[in-house]
Amino acid sequence: MEEIKLSHRKLLISAAIFVLPASPAWAQTTDSVEQRSDSGLSDDFHDDDMIVVTAPYVDQLDILAGTSVLTGDKLAEDLRGQIGDSLTGLAGVSSTSFSPGSSRPVLRGFQGPRVRVMTDGIGSLDASNTSVDHAVTIDPLTAQRVEVLRGPAVLLFGGDAIGGAVNVIDKRIPRDVPDDAVHLDAIGGYGSAANDWSIAGSVDVPLTSKLVVHADGSYRDTDDVRVPGFVLAPALRSEVLAAAAEETEEGHLDEAAELTDTANLSGRVPNTASRTETAGAGIAFIDDGGNLGFSVSYYDTDYGVPARPGSGHAHGEEGEEAEEGGEEEGPVTIGLQQIRADLRGAVNMGGFFESLNFRAGYSDYEHTEFEGDEIGTIFSVSGIEARAELVQADHDGWRGVVGSQVLVRDFNAIGAEAFVPKNSLESWAFFTLQEVDLGNWELEGALRFDQTSISANTINFDRSFNTVSGAVGLAYAPDDSAFKIGLNISRAERAPSAEELLSNGPHIATQAFEIGNPNFTTEKSWGGELYARWDSDDVQLSATIYGNLFDDYIFEAETAAEEDGLPVFQYFQRDATYYGFEASASAVFARAGDFDFIANGVADYVRAKIDNGGGSVPRIPPLRLLGGLKAHSDSFDLGAEVEWTDSQNKVAAFETTSDGFTMVNASAAWRPFGKDGGVTLLASANNIFDVNARRHASFTKDYVPLSGRDIRVSAKFSF
């Protein structure tokens, strides 16, 4: 197998960033983090603690109008194998739900390269944004906090992240020195729907008053997921039964029996089992002058890729038939490994600049797509990403940050079904965000310039894209009021990805023949959002309406053509329009004894269509409403919620519709030693009435429904 290596020139480019200014300083927990822990309120009603996404240079980034945070007991309760499935209870968030082993977040209807998934401000450096079947190499079991960022301020992290960003905070590079000689954290759990066993633990040990080491590990093992009713959606099941009847008429009884068995499949989704192991270690020096830390980590997972009914493909030339007596292809599985190194540091300064921060990550990633025991295609990614920031001190209400970012990535696919040629990406950027406090008014602005180069020497492809993105926000808050209203306007530009440009071939895992277009231009959009918030001790309300007008929007759609026995999915570029809303609410409506009684709710909707009669954008989530009641005390939590999802009939050509569904969930948490006792026992019942549900944003929704009734128990310890 050909080894992918970073060139000497790329290493010089990447190394140079380390001497530049700074870091993901935007996501620090403030001293007031516990202010609402007694009532269970926070920026999003799913949080257990009050955590505001902030930066040292801004008390609260109002331009981050759509921020949600998942942490504490709710994060533990919602843990799933992939980060996408762990976040679907948040406003504006859905999931690709390709399979239990591969699921990426969908924000405001956007997915793929328009949603950035990060670890502590640096990209996951895997192949998850290249295809929906590729897992995200972030284990939610090791997460301390997950932040979902939407709106114009995402320009700080990437001009292509038009939909938003998900930032997972872990403790691999320690942020403080524990007071105890040894600090232990652990979580373990079981889920009934997939016989899902999981365990994770970490230890932090101070070597001196300024030096601390960290180690962690996790393990998860699941069987095929259990689902209610038939595995296939009604329309697809009817097609398969019709094909079985046709085979019977033609006298092909074996083929007819196989199709009938597929149509009648129920109970469990075959080939959805998974196993994941992770390990990490880090060390950090922390004092009043700044900090410096380093970590290494390993991620290993194996998971099944459910088969699209009726799909097949030939490895030979077009029209070549398989030899008689040839062995049937086995199920498709993916084996994935990533070795990663991370660096984070900060230097506290005086004068105009408050601090100099930096963050960098290196990844060596490989995954293999197996057909039974045979190796199909091997995907390899080597990459370095680094960012640096200079944080400005507050000068008469003016504060901000200026920074730079660089990404160098080599991608290779080796095998009969390498649908993307070997390619390299080099990207560098400069950005700034500034805020001016004008009393009751706040004015904010962000600006970013990116240069992206994509080359594929084997096909003589070499293109560069210069993109400029910017945003401005204005917010008003009356004196001594919990109310705030704001308006953000942005102009974003995104370079097409290598997959959008260069795809041309069969992809075994998605069971599709994918075709890109090397002549695509940059994607441009004008966006706006109007938001209102009420943030008091007992009541929190947040509502945002938004819209995006795209020029040269890039999307992938089914064409009804067939190549190598696979349906053809082709990338197109057209003008498009997105608009929608998202809202969340949480309110203490009664108190009795030690308990606060809280009502909460979430609503989100997005409509996306191709302009000039081009129909709907594929795989857009429908209207969703979620509401719940919770009783909270220092020792106990009891809650129940109902999630209603509408049907989706606004679909692209050749895309199937999705039925609506209603799911009911309940949960309980017990802290036997009180809120600071370090022990939490959790239990939840999800999809209590065993409803057959399918996420419309999923590429595999017609043959991979969501899990049925799932009873989950877990225990969390911190000492």
Average pLDDT for 82-106: 91
User: Per-residue pLDDT for 544 more than 60?
Assistant: yes
User: Per-residue pLDDT for 30 more than 60?
Assistant: no
The one-letter amino acid code at 456 reads A
The first and second tokens of residue 360, run together, are 């960098």
pLDDT, residue 604, reads 96
User: Per-residue pLDDT for 664 more than 90?
Assistant: yes
DSSP-assigned letters across all residues of 644-676: EE--B----TTPPPB--EEEEEEEEEE-TT-TT
pLDDT, greater one: 56 or 495: 495
pLDDT, residue 145, reads 87
DSSP code for 83: H
Q: Quick count: other Cβ atoms within 10 Å of Cβ 534?
A: 16
3-state secondary structure 172-184: CCCCCCCCCCCEE
CB 449 within 8 A of CB 156: no
- 201 pLDDT band, cuts 50/70/90, is very high
The rounded distance, in Å, linking the Cα atoms of 624 and 677 is 37
The rounded distance, in Å, linking the Cα atoms of 228 and 689 is 10
What percent of the chain has pLDDT above 90?
A: 67
CB 315 within 8 A of CB 710: no
Average pLDDT for 655-671: 96
The C-alpha angle with vertex 304 and arms to 660 and 560, in degrees rounded to 5, equals: 55
pLDDT, residue 587, reads 97
User: Per-residue pLDDT for 622 more than 50?
Assistant: yes
CB 224 within 8 A of CB 268: yes
CB 153 within 8 A of CB 55: no
pLDDT, residue 3, reads 41
Average pLDDT for 250-255: 93
User: Per-residue pLDDT for 325 more than 90?
Assistant: no
Average pLDDT for 397-413: 92
Dihedral (Cα; 633, 169, 87, 365), 10-degree rounding: -150
- 609 pLDDT band, cuts 50/70/90, is very high
Beta bridge partner(s), residue 464: 453
pLDDT, greater one: 40 or 173: 173
Alpha helices in 231-316 (DSSP H): 234-249, 253-263
* Residue with the two structure tokens 């075959």: 270
CB 60 within 8 A of CB 51: no
User: Per-residue pLDDT for 17 more than 80?
Assistant: no
Chain segment 303-316, per-residue pLDDT in tens:
999 988 866 544 44
Largest CA distance in the chain: 85
- 16 pLDDT band, cuts 50/70/90, is very low
Q: Quick count: other Cβ atoms within 10 Å of Cβ 589?
A: 11
Burial of 419 (0-12, 13-18, 19+ CB in 10 A): buried
Assigned superfamily of 8-231+269-314+329-718: TonB-dependent receptor, beta-barrel domain (2.40.170.20)
Q: How many CA atoms lie within 13 A of 92 on its CB side?
A: 29
The first and second tokens of residue 719, run together, are 């000492």
1-5, 156-160, 706-710: segment of lowest average pLDDT: 1-5
- 399 pLDDT band, cuts 50/70/90, is confident
The rounded distance, in Å, linking the Cα atoms of 189 and 200 is 9
CB 125 within 8 A of CB 381: yes
pLDDT, residue 255, reads 92
Average pLDDT for 345-353: 90
Average pLDDT for 234-253: 94
pLDDT, residue 41, reads 35
Phi and psi torsions of 160, nearest 5° = -85, -10
User: Per-residue pLDDT for 583 more than 60?
Assistant: yes
Average pLDDT for 64-68: 63
Give just the sign of the alpha carbon dihedral 502, 506, 507, 512.
positive
The C-alpha angle with vertex 94 and arms to 151 and 70, in degrees rounded to 5, equals: 70
User: Per-residue pLDDT for 26 more than 80?
Assistant: no
pLDDT, residue 141, reads 82
Average pLDDT for 38-63: 38
pLDDT, residue 500, reads 95
Q: Quick count: other Cβ atoms within 10 Å of Cβ 555?
A: 21
The rounded distance, in Å, linking the Cα atoms of 585 and 712 is 26
The rounded distance, in Å, linking the Cα atoms of 155 and 161 is 7
The C-alpha angle with vertex 595 and arms to 591 and 597, in degrees rounded to 5, equals: 60
Q: Closest Cα partner for 271 from 228, 223, 310?
A: 223
The rounded distance, in Å, linking the Cα atoms of 160 and 405 is 13
* Ranges for all domains in the chain classified under CATH 2.40.170.20: 8-231+269-314+329-718
* C-alpha distances out from residue 680 to 140, 297, 675, Å: 18, 27, 9
Average pLDDT for 176-185: 93
Name 43's Cβ contacts closer than 8 Å, sequence gap at least 6: 50, 51, 52, 53, 67, 68, 69, 535, 540, 542
pLDDT, residue 95, reads 94
Strongest mean pLDDT among 273-287, 300-314, 347-361: 273-287
End-to-end CA distance of the chain: 46
The mean pLDDT of the chain is: 86
Average pLDDT for 580-587: 95
Report residue 78 CA to chain centroid gap. 14
What percent of the chain has pLDDT above 70?
A: 88
Name 681's Cβ contacts closer than 8 Å, sequence gap at least 6: 669, 670, 671, 672, 713, 714, 715, 716
User: Per-residue pLDDT for 38 more than 70?
Assistant: no
* C-alpha distances out from residue 13 to 18, 252, 361, 406, 451, Å: 10, 62, 14, 8, 13
pTM for the model stands at 0.88
Q: How many CA atoms lie within 13 A of 378 on its CB side?
A: 11
Beta strands 398-415; 374-392: pairing state = antiparallel
Q: State which H helix or E strand residue 196 sits in.
A: strand 196-206
User: Per-residue pLDDT for 628 more than 50?
Assistant: yes
pLDDT, greater one: 506 or 273: 273
CB 514 within 8 A of CB 503: yes
